[in-house]
Amino acid sequence: MRSLFLMQLAGMITLSAFPIASDAQEARPYTRRTVITFPSTPEGQGSGAQNEPDRGRGAFRVHDLSRQWVEFQMERAFPEQEDPSAGERQSLPITVPPSTSIAVPPWMLGQDSPQSAALRYTLGCGGASYQPSGLLRPAEELRRQSYFALMSQIACAYGIPVSLFDAMIIQESRYDAAVFSPKQAFGLTQLMPGTATGLGVNRYNIEENLRGGAAYLRQQLDRFGAYHLALAAYNAGPGRVRNRQVPPFPETLDYVATILSNWTRLTGAQRRTTLIGEGAQSVRLGRSPSVSRF
């Protein structure tokens, strides 16, 4: 019975592959491919009708010869074979070229940036040794101690007395590197956004904030030639320092007087500085006369 069914099915496939001659001119040519898979019969079992209920509807499988199906069958028919040389390749040492053509920033290589190197190796600029200031609370003094070496190196590199720069930072921020002022000045030296941009520094970086503050103070010292006028320009702006006088603003007068007084305490020296404002009385600090011009 199975042989008869196969013969009938083969005849149907043959007829479907060749269209009737009378309709050959009207019909559009096409190709149909069909694969019929017969499951193999296990050894020891016959092909009688008693085995047909066991095979059920899955006795025949018809598959379309699509690309995905062919790929799937090929993967099953040809499983991957291990490459005998794979183990040898894994045991070979990995070599890394000693140099690369890719530009790598110096900080990724653990090297000093040019600015840091210039500050660390400036000839004759070894900085000052740390001593407690006696001007700050314990937590503030700890911050000052942590930044003192860097602060002194930067001050020395810009030709600024270390104790003067130290006293200015104490007045500006009390060594709080994350403090904002109501006017949006930021950091240890309280740089304004426009000032930092003009100096080409990132005021949110501690070292660059210190470097920007030292550079700005150095500019005022070179312009006015006096410490008290340079400090006044740092606080109120250089445009407000006229006729070689400190602007008559209470905040600026107190700012300059406090820094000069703390500078005296930090250096242990006695100096007298006269601050002359428009319509303001002279303010004298210390007992020994000295000149703050150079």
Domains and CATH numbers, the chain: 110-225 (1.10.530.10)
Question: pLDDT class for 19, splitting at 50, 70, 90?
Answer: low
Confidence of residue 268 (pLDDT cuts 50, 70, 90): confident
Evaluate if residue 123 carries a pLDDT over 80: no
Q: What pLDDT, on the 0 to 100 scale, is given for residue 178?
A: 95
What pLDDT was estimated at residue 88?
A: 53
pLDDT surpasses 80 at 146: yes
* Interval 264-290 mean pLDDT: 54
pTM for the model: 0.54
Which 3 state secondary structure label does DSSP give 78? coil
pLDDT number for residue 128: 77
Asked which of 80-94, 142-156, 211-225, 257-271 is least confident by mean pLDDT, the reply is 80-94
Which tokens belong to 25? 């001119």
Residues assigned a catalytic role = 172
State both tokens at 203.
Answer: 């005021």
DSSP string, 104-125: --GGGGTPPPHHHHHHHS-TT-
